[in-house]
Structure 1
Amino acid sequence: MAFQCQRDCFMKEFVTTVVSCCPAEHKQEVNGKKETVKGFNVKLQDTILFPEGGGQPDDHGLIGDVPVIKVTRHGADAVHFVSSSLEVGQEVQLKLDWDRRFDHMQQHSGQHLISALAETMFGFKTTSWELGRQRSNIELDTASVTPAQLQALEEAVNEKIRAHVPVTLQLLALDDPALEKARSRGLPDDLAGPVRIIDIEGIDANMCCGTHVSNLSQLQAIKLLSTEKGKKNKTNLIFLVGNRVLKYAEKCYSTERSLVSLLKTGPDEHVEAVAKTQKCVKLLQKSNLGLLRDLALLIAQNFKSSPQRGNFFTLHKKEGDNEFMNIIANEIGPETLVFLSVGEEKGPGLFLLAGPSDVVSEMGPRALEMLEGKGAGKNGRFQGKANSLARLGEVEAVLQQRCQLLASGEE
């Protein structure tokens, strides 16, 4: 069957009846992690909430005052996952999240238009597409799209938008000869009822289950952002339609104003200003590395020249890198146990344990465990990354005690 959302994509409220309600579980993303949520699967006599399909995400909305978490299609039924149970036979009012729906309509109808003209103009067939949260992409069956082709395609799709081309819906039986004239990437195995044809007048007739605008003027504008290499000699075309174009322009303008404030230059000079800044940063980094190397040599030489030096040397610095630590260890020599670390004292960082091979082999893993890090060692060197340097003092104390035992001859 065709749901009410497919017969009338602009309907925002609808009264229907609960057909079934049973306990169910749904996996959803919470703070970047998949979690299983308990609730109920609800089937309605009909629905204005689109179940995901055809590359288009599902709708959001309410059944009465109960939020609909997910809508999926099972054969001829739309299944609404909700957190509260609903009484079978109960008459309920559906309310649609219109902003989300209209955004999906713009992106989906825009995809149909782009795909049709890409094939007509250049022979690029669409093999799949994805309606993303911020931007969408079309997979084209071509190894590359030139900048000139991208510009020509963008100009063509926006010309059709300005021409106010109608978009109509047809419901055809599976044996209707008119289906042969419609484009399709294949029908689902569990298709029930008539086949929907989305017809962009004079441009494209395509089998599709999704929701669409009724006139291309409702797309407002299309921006083809870029292309990128896809799978198996294909190209992904990244695009925005309608309100997403406006939001993108607003975001770009906000970024531009921030850069004007930071760089103290006009927008036309931003690239040059950033290039100069990067060059200065590289020079400063090079100079800083040179100073750190000189400092490492001085630290090692100062320790070696001290008459009170023992068989253990430890140092922590906020700034530094692996090379800085290795210079110190090399300069001091393998007879002394050296423990060095760089980074924020209670945050992540780097560490190095160097000296007598047997002591390093024994104490390296212990230090690694205390610093909650990852690392490895061989030939009198053990180094790694610490998740936390908060226990540096404890590590130093354990190593100091080990050196004292070694010096006393108790081992």
Structure 2
Amino acid sequence: MAFQCQRDCYMKEFVTSVVSCCPAELKQEVNGKKETLKGFNVLLQDTILFPEGGGQPDDHGLIGEVPVLRVTRQGPDAVHFVTSPVEERQEVRVTVDWERRFDHMQQHSGQHLITALADAMFGYKTTSWDLGRHRSTIELDTPSVKAAQLQELEEAVNEKIRAGIPVNVQLLDLSDPAVEKVRSRGLPDDHAGPIRIIDMEGIDANMCCGTHVTNLSHLQVIKLLGTEKGKKNKTNLIFLTGNRVLKYAEKSYSTERSLVSLLKTGPDEHVEAVEKIQKSVKMLQKVEGVQLLSEAAALSFYPTYQNAFPEKEGDNEFMNIIANEINTEETLVFLTVGEEKGAGLFLLAGPSGQVTKLGPRILELLQGKGAGKSGRFQGKANSLARREEVEAFLRQHCEHHSSEEE
């Protein structure tokens, strides 16, 4: 049979009578933990609360003042789970959670529209779909969807929405020849009664038990967020319809305003600002052991040569951060960044007189270009393969300088 929610998807309240109310249990998952809730299963003469099916979750609502936590279909019946009993054979007013219902209507009709046009335009068949709490997903039978196709599909579905195309519901007998012409993934084993057809005029006719809008204009807008790799060479197409698009825009704008305040830049510069922060964090992680190097240098006799192992990643700022952490007025420091045997950067820091004297020779050994002032000599090295020669040269200098001091 077709329930009242299927005959009139826009009905928000409905008066009916209670057929039965029996003790029951509901198994559910709360915060990742499974629990069993004791309550009652209620059968009504008819209902405007949709039982889950066709990929659409069930409705929530009230029977009188009693909350309905779950609605399932058992053969021709809709079973309502409640935690408080309701009196049998009495009339009750059933109220649907309209915000949840209309969201499901928009997402479900949106899925039908996207599915029909993806097939018509590109031959991509829908193999399943998921109406999620925040975003919905259609599984397409294709390994990938090109960005240009995604844009073309989004433009096409929104054009149909702007055209205000009617969506009609037909009830056909299973023996009706018209049933064979309708798109379907099959009927459930316990199906009873007529076949329900959702017909988007000139676009698609599909067997479906779910609740739908009566006109595509009620979808407002569809946004295709993108695709993800699915299972077995399939592609998951992620989309939002109607009010979800508005909520998504509101949330994105709120996030954007927060980032403007935190990053002190306009929205167009957020990516660049975050990349700079990531680079700075990466650099700080590299030099977090510098304090130990500084303390070790402080325990050494002057003049001292401190050698930092070559880093593959870094720049002049990276090396200067390290040098700034060490007392280079009394310690001679040599640093490089780059590939061990390729090109890179170097820095010699220390007492000004020694740096001025030693810098040109290091430049010559590394076959590089550079200059120095104020106790720093740095530049580009064409061959860090000769780094060991530089280290030997600096050690010899320090030993010679130390003997002269004695």
Query: Structure 2 length normalisation: TM-score?
Result: 0.72
Amino acid in the other structure paired with 2:154:
E
Aligned mates of 1:180, 1:205 — CA distance in 2: 11
Alpha-carbon offset, residue 258 of structure 1 = 0.7
Match in the other structure for 1:151: 151
Match in the other structure for 2:391: none
> Are 1:89 and 2:89 counterparts?
yes
Match in the other structure for 2:139: 139
Amino acid in the other structure paired with 2:152:
A
> Are 1:175 and 2:175 counterparts?
yes
Alpha-carbon offset, residue 294 of structure 1 = 7.1
Structure 1 residues 294 and 28 mapped into 2: Cα distance closer, same or farther (>3 Å)?
Answer: farther
> Are 1:258 and 2:243 counterparts?
no
Aligned mates of 2:199, 2:291 — CA distance in 1: 69
Aligned mates of 2:52, 2:293 — CA distance in 1: 59
Amino acid in the other structure paired with 2:278:
Q
After superposition, where does 1:313-328 map in structure 2 within 5 Å?
Answer: none
Amino acid in the other structure paired with 2:265:
T
> Are 1:127 and 2:122 counterparts?
no
Match in the other structure for 1:228: 228
Aligned mates of 1:17, 1:291 — CA distance in 2: 78
Aligned mates of 2:235, 2:254 — CA distance in 1: 31
Alpha-carbon offset, residue 72 of structure 1 = 0.3
Figure out how many residues of one structure are paired with residues of the other and give that number: 298
- Residue deviations 1:33-83 (CA, integer Å, cap 9, x gap): 221100001111110000001110000100000000000000100000000
Amino acid in the other structure paired with 1:188:
P
**Rg bigger for which structure?**
2
- What SS does structure 2 have at the residue aligned with 1:246? helix
Aligned mates of 1:294, 1:239 — CA distance in 2: 55
Match in the other structure for 1:3: 3
Amino acid in the other structure paired with 1:231:
K
Amino acid in the other structure paired with 1:32:
G
> Are 1:197 and 2:197 counterparts?
yes
Match in the other structure for 1:270: 270
Match in the other structure for 1:68: 68
Aligned mates of 2:224, 2:269 — CA distance in 1: 25
Structure 1 residues 279 and 69 mapped into 2: Cα distance closer, same or farther (>3 Å)?
Answer: same
- What SS does structure 2 have at the residue aligned with 1:27? strand
- What SS does structure 2 have at the residue aligned with 1:35? strand
Alpha-carbon offset, residue 180 of structure 1 = 1.2
- Residue deviations 1:222-257 (CA, integer Å, cap 9, x gap): 000010011111000000000000000001111111
- What SS does structure 1 have at the residue aligned with 2:205? strand
Q: What value does the CA root-mean-square deviation take over the aligned residues?
A: 1.5
Aligned mates of 2:96, 2:191 — CA distance in 1: 25
- What SS does structure 2 have at the residue aligned with 1:225? strand
Alpha-carbon offset, residue 27 of structure 1 = 1.4
Runs of 4+ in structure 1 off by over 4 angstroms are 292-295
Aligned mates of 2:290, 2:143 — CA distance in 1: 47
Aligned mates of 2:96, 2:41 — CA distance in 1: 18
Match in the other structure for 1:19: 19
Which range moves more in the overlay, 113-122 or 20-29?
20-29
Aligned mates of 2:292, 2:89 — CA distance in 1: 77
After superposition, where does 1:226-305 map in structure 2 within 5 Å?
Answer: 226-291=226-291
- What SS does structure 1 have at the residue aligned with 2:276? helix
- What SS does structure 1 have at the residue aligned with 2:209? coil
Alpha-carbon offset, residue 289 of structure 1 = 3.6
- What SS does structure 2 have at the residue aligned with 1:89? coil
Structure 1 residues 128 and 90 mapped into 2: Cα distance closer, same or farther (>3 Å)?
Answer: same
- What SS does structure 2 have at the residue aligned with 1:288? coil
Which range moves more in the overlay, 204-213 or 173-182?
173-182
Alpha-carbon offset, residue 163 of structure 1 = 0.3
Match in the other structure for 2:105: 105
- Residue deviations 1:235-291 (CA, integer Å, cap 9, x gap): 000000000000000011111111111111111111111111110111111111443
Alpha-carbon offset, residue 293 of structure 1 = 7.4
Alpha-carbon offset, residue 29 of structure 1 = 2.6
- What SS does structure 1 have at the residue aligned with 2:69? strand
Amino acid in the other structure paired with 2:169:
L
Amino acid in the other structure paired with 1:170:
Q
Structure 1 residues 212 and 284 mapped into 2: Cα distance closer, same or farther (>3 Å)?
Answer: same
- Residue deviations 1:312-363 (CA, integer Å, cap 9, x gap): xxxxxxxxxxxxxxxxxxxxxxxxxxxxxxxxxxxxxxxxxxxxxxxxxxxx
Alpha-carbon offset, residue 90 of structure 1 = 1.3
Amino acid in the other structure paired with 1:93:
R
- What SS does structure 1 have at the residue aligned with 2:23? strand
Alpha-carbon offset, residue 31 of structure 1 = 2.9
Aligned mates of 2:257, 2:85 — CA distance in 1: 50
Amino acid in the other structure paired with 1:200:
M
Amino acid in the other structure paired with 1:9:
C
Aligned mates of 2:23, 2:230 — CA distance in 1: 41
Structure 1 residues 293 and 156 mapped into 2: Cα distance closer, same or farther (>3 Å)?
Answer: farther
Aligned mates of 1:240, 1:4 — CA distance in 2: 27
Amino acid in the other structure paired with 2:10:
F
Match in the other structure for 1:206: 206
Aligned mates of 2:290, 2:144 — CA distance in 1: 45
Query: Structure 1 length normalisation: TM-score?
Result: 0.71
Aligned mates of 1:181, 1:216 — CA distance in 2: 22
Aligned mates of 1:165, 1:260 — CA distance in 2: 41
Structure 1 residues 6 and 284 mapped into 2: Cα distance closer, same or farther (>3 Å)?
Answer: same
Aligned mates of 1:144, 1:31 — CA distance in 2: 34
